[in-house]
Amino acid sequence: MTQHDEAFLADWAVQSAFGAVAGTHGVDREAATAPDGEQRRWFAELLESRGFTVQRDAIGNQFGLLELVPGAPYVLTGSHMDSQPTAGRFDGAYGVMASAHACFRVADELRADPASARFNLAVVNWFNEEGSRFKPSMMGSGVFTGKLSLEAALATEDRGGVTVVEALDALGERGNFEGLDVASYAEIHVQQGRSMEQDGVTIGLVDATWAAHKFEFKITGEQAHSGSTLMSDRRDALLGAARLIVAVRELVDEFEQGMLHSACGEIDVYPNSPVVVASQVKLLLDFRSPSEDVLKAAYTSLMATVEKVQHEDRVGIEIIAEHSWDRNPYSEPGVELAREVAEQLGLSNDRVLTVAGHDSTNMKDKVPTVMLFVPSVDGVSHNLDEFTREEDLIDGLHQLTGVVRRLAEGALVA
Amino acid sequence: MTQHDEAFLADWAVQSAFGAVAGTHGVDREAATAPDGEQRRWFAELLESRGFTVQRDAIGNQFGLLELVPGAPYVLTGSHMDSQPTAGRFDGAYGVMASAHACFRVADELRADPASARFNLAVVNWFNEEGSRFKPSMMGSGVFTGKLSLEAALATEDRGGVTVVEALDALGERGNFEGLDVASYAEIHVQQGRSMEQDGVTIGLVDATWAAHKFEFKITGEQAHSGSTLMSDRRDALLGAARLIVAVRELVDEFEQGMLHSACGEIDVYPNSPVVVASQVKLLLDFRSPSEDVLKAAYTSLMATVEKVQHEDRVGIEIIAEHSWDRNPYSEPGVELAREVAEQLGLSNDRVLTVAGHDSTNMKDKVPTVMLFVPSVDGVSHNLDEFTREEDLIDGLHQLTGVVRRLAEGALVA
């Protein structure tokens, strides 16, 4: 292991302590919470110590900029440091730390060989990728790419009624940086699945995202005494919600194995009292599939269940928010560039799909983008026990460094 | 309408304003919240203005005492003024206000005819009958009757971690009154059902409670990414909970109509995030029936579902708390006394069962007890739109006054 690799692991160990959950290897570092703020301050100092200028934009994205070629556009690389509640320490944070160290190395190389530099270097820690405290997810990159309104994002409230603008201002993490001219983008992430580990692949060349359809349902019943009210008089919103949760799970078995993922992770019940029939439930459900046809068939089936539950349980069911995306390719030249770098480094590699969304899902629609994975043991994700082996972290860092070097030299840009 | 009845309605209108929910006829006055405290102070002043001495015991039960026969035991009458979140204004509060006004009248009568008085008079506003903020329900009467430990009750926390002792002390509603020698108890409540309205009955003579079995389940799964984790790898606690909610509703249809009520009104999900498979759910479920055999059969069936869900969805399911009670009669002499009073007043009356628990459910096991109902329009309960007609409120007040008079003269006590 090189001195550079050891420096990465030392910084990696420090960053893992922010929001660490006692007695576990995981973290609890939701967006714009105190540990997120502490980590951001530490990360800014790290970047500044290596000659980077740190800026924050209006949605709290944190940028580290290094100008090597005056006035030229930037190669941007990064991920997110926020986490789900009680989650793993690799998800997002690995990408940010690998990006910083990749840029440190490439900067050293380009300073030694200035003629080969076409673009400048920038590292980014995107705000609120997880979307657990403030919805939607991928908020920072969504605003940066113009897919999400800044005003709407800043006004978003958490469950306690705290807005994004209040939470960012409390940390001093809302800035006035106007953005930068991005030539190309690279991101590395732990795979949130187990296919690479099973197949013995070290570097995943992400070539497409699964299609997805996400829904927020509102189920409306009527408050009633949960003991004495006649069963036939009840309009039980929680029962309606439970029927949808069961139905979306059972739908999975109507398709070939692995072709449909469905989930409900969040439910909000009112009044949520032991002796009151619930009058309102909000429920987040989603479908994901590598096939748009499967997704459409699942949607049709879900709507039939909605009709049935409305009728039989006498509850109202509305979709109050939904968004969906098609199976969405990453650019082929980016995949090929990543493959060439991996081959040069002698790292086993293969194309993979990503089921989860990433900030690169936003960026790839705007600029040439490379998305990379390293394996995750048993694919454990959004869990304190998430784990990626040290040698995979280092191989991924080498891979990302190679990609950033090629991008800084002008690859993928005409 | 007499001047006394008008005085009752005037006080009734004032009390309905404490915790009133704007734009509705209902209230939000959970136990030991600010509106509960304001109402308690107002109620104490009302009692004192009529010559009663106000005392609070260690669990915050509020008593108004009137000594007419020095050293004699007391006829106690009352109910509760706390409410569910966004609930009706009659549930509990009607019983307390009717009790106060019944005692005001009986006190006047006994002062005019002191020879007929055998017992003294006391009104009670029991603490936390609803159990929505602090569990269990019927907390104040539970402690008073020795069925619930004072220490355990005081240490109970609400969702924000505030204990009963802290909440009571914040209002100055925890006292050191040691209790009183109770000769007999009477309570009146709006029916939380619609049978009396359907049958045209003004006064319900409550002769038994339904049997009930209440459970708190803990369902244990494993946190995972709700998009990318293979469906077959998931252990989804919220799915397990949803299957139980659906199962307890479907169980109802296995029995004759009206023989089983089942409910789940409260659920607590962790981490409750849109992209995380839930690792833990706590769920409150209950069964109620007029038949203990039906309840036993329902229990057996529920346990079979628990086994099946544990196996098929790979989640752990434990019962972490449960309590149950058999079909439980009120004393026959009390029912007969209430019937005689109703007949004398010319009020239509009939025996009824109560599905819901009341503070009298605790008291009846300790002292001779009379439990009365007045009708509720459409049986709407635990709902802002709960409604009882003014004439029924007045008839109920007359009935309770008659019962308290007879009790004060020594009825039901050897």
B121 close to A (CB below 8 A): no
**Average pLDDT, whole number, for chain B?**
96
Average pLDDT (A355-374) is 96
More confident residue, A240 or B274: A240
Contact between A223 and B87 using a beta-carbon 8 Å cutoff: yes
Closest to A90 (Cα-Cα) out of A389, A361, A387, A331: A387
ipTM: 0.90
Q: Is A144 contained in some domain?
A: yes
Asked whether residue A249 falls in the same domain as residue A318, the answer is: yes
Residue B336 to residue A68: CA distance in whole angstroms: 97
pLDDT band, residue A321 (cuts 50/70/90): very high
CA B215 to chain centre: 18
Considering the domain architecture, whether residues B307 and B162 belong to the same structural domain is answered as no
Q: Do B194 and A286 touch (CB under 8 A)?
A: no
Mean pLDDT of B281-301: 97
Proportion of chain B above pLDDT 70, given as a percent: 100
Residue with tokens 């079909």: B327
Q: Residue B236 has what pLDDT?
A: 98
Residues A228 and A165 in one domain: no
A311 is in an annotated binding site: no
For A56, the 3-state DSSP assignment is: strand
What proportion of chain B, given as a percentage, has pLDDT over 90?
97
Range B105-111 average pLDDT: 96
B73: closest CA of chain A, how far (Å): 34
Same domain, B133 and B249: no
B414 occurs within a structural domain: no
Rounded Cα gap, residues A387 and A119, in angstroms = 34
For residue B84, which residues of chain A lie inside 8 Å, CB to CB? 223, 271, 273, 275-276
Average pLDDT over residues A188-203: 96
> Which uninterrupted H or E stretch holds B96?
helix B93-112
Assess whether B140 and B283 both reside in one domain: no
Average pLDDT of span B236-250: 98
In the predicted model, what is the mean pLDDT of chain A?
96
Please say which residue of A325, A354, A385 terminates a domain: A325
Q: A325, A345, A364 — which closes off a domain?
A: A325
Residue A1 has pLDDT above 90, yes or no: no
Around Cβ A199, how many Cβ atoms within 10 Å? 12
CATH number, domain of A249, equals 3.30.70.360
Q: Are residues A243 and A142 in the same domain?
A: no
Beta-carbon separation of B275 and A137 below 8 A: yes
Peptide bond into A136 cis (omega under 30): yes
A159 to chain B, any CB pair closer than 8 A? The answer is no
Residues B74, B166 within the same domain: yes
Residue B302 domain-assigned (yes or no): yes
Q: Is B224 on the interface with A (CB under 8 A)?
A: yes
B29 touches chain A (CB under 8 A): no
Q: Are residues B136 and B280 both part of a single domain?
A: no
Kindly report, residue by residue over A4-24, the tens digit of the pLDDT. Answer: 999 999 999 999 999 999 999
CA-based nearest distance A379→chain B, Å: 7
Q: What is the pLDDT of residues A375-406, one digit of tens each?
A: 999 999 999 999 999 999 999 999 999 999 99
Residue B43 lies in a domain: yes
Task: Report the candidate in A347, A295, A353 with the shortest Cα–Cα distance to residue A324.
Answer: A295
Q: What share of chain A is helix, strand, coil (3-state, %, to 5)?
A: 40, 25, 35
Taking the CA of residue A269 and the nearest CA in chain B, the distance in Å comes to 8
Question: What is the structure's pLDDT at B21?
Answer: 95
Q: Name the residue range of residue A388's domain.
A: 3-210+328-408
Do A225 and A349 fall within a single domain? no
Q: Which amino acid is at A89?
A: R
Model confidence pLDDT, tens digit, residues A155-166: 999 988 999 999
Phi first, then psi, for residue B191 (nearest 5°) are -65, 140
Is pLDDT above 90 for A197? yes
pLDDT at A239 > cutoff 90: yes
Residue B413 lies in a domain: no
pLDDT of residue A123: 98
Residues B77 and B9 in one domain: yes
Q: What is the per-residue pLDDT across B192-202, written as a single tens digit (0 to 9) for each? A: 999 999 999 99
Asked if residue A279 lies in contact with residue A220, where contact means CB atoms within 8 angstroms, the answer is yes
Backbone angles phi, psi at A52, to 5 degrees: -85, 150
Q: Left if phi > 0, otherwise alpha if psi is -120 to 50, otherwise beta: which for B285?
A: beta
Place of tokens 């006292």: B175
Residue of A nearest to B85 (CA): A271
What would the mean pLDDT of B87-112 be, rounded to a whole number?
A: 97
Question: Is B382 part of any known ligand binding site?
Answer: yes
Please tell me the predicted confidence (pLDDT) of residue A395.
98
Nearest CA in chain B to A276: B265
CA B412, CA B414: separation in Å to the nearest integer? 7
Q: How confident is the model over B4-15, as pLDDT tens digits?
A: 999 999 999 999
Instruction: Reply yes or no on whether the pLDDT at B287 is more than 90.
Output: yes
Cα B141 to Cα B150: distance, rounded to the nearest angstrom = 11
What CATH number did the domain enclosing A163 receive? 3.40.630.10
Select from A325, A353, A385 the last residue of a domain.
Answer: A325
> What one-character-per-residue DSSP string does B144-156 give?
HTTSS-HHHHHH-
| pLDDT given at position A341 | 98
How large is the average pLDDT for residues B161-170?
A: 97
Residue A187 has pLDDT above 90, yes or no: yes
Q: Which of B129, B134, B127, B128 is nearest to B160 (CA)?
A: B134
User: What is the domain count for chain A?
Assistant: 2
pLDDT over threshold 90, residue B330: yes
The encoded tokens of residue A216 equal 């927020």
B85, B245, B278 ranked by CB distance to A238: nearest? B245
CB burial of residue B109 (10 Å; 0-12, 13-18, 19+): middle
Best residue of A226, A262, A284 to probe chain B, by most B CBs closer than 10 Å: A226
Domain membership of residue A75 (yes or no) is yes
| A413 lies in some domain | no
Considering the domain architecture, whether residues B56 and B143 belong to the same structural domain is answered as: yes
Is residue A414 in some structural domain?
A: no
User: Which pLDDT score, from 0 to 100, does residue A68 have?
Assistant: 95
Average pLDDT for residues A231-246, to the nearest whole number?
A: 97
Same domain for A220 and A163: no
Q: Look at residue B323 and tell me whether its pLDDT is greater than 90.
A: no
Asked if B275 and A265 touch (Cβ cutoff 8 Å), the reply is: yes
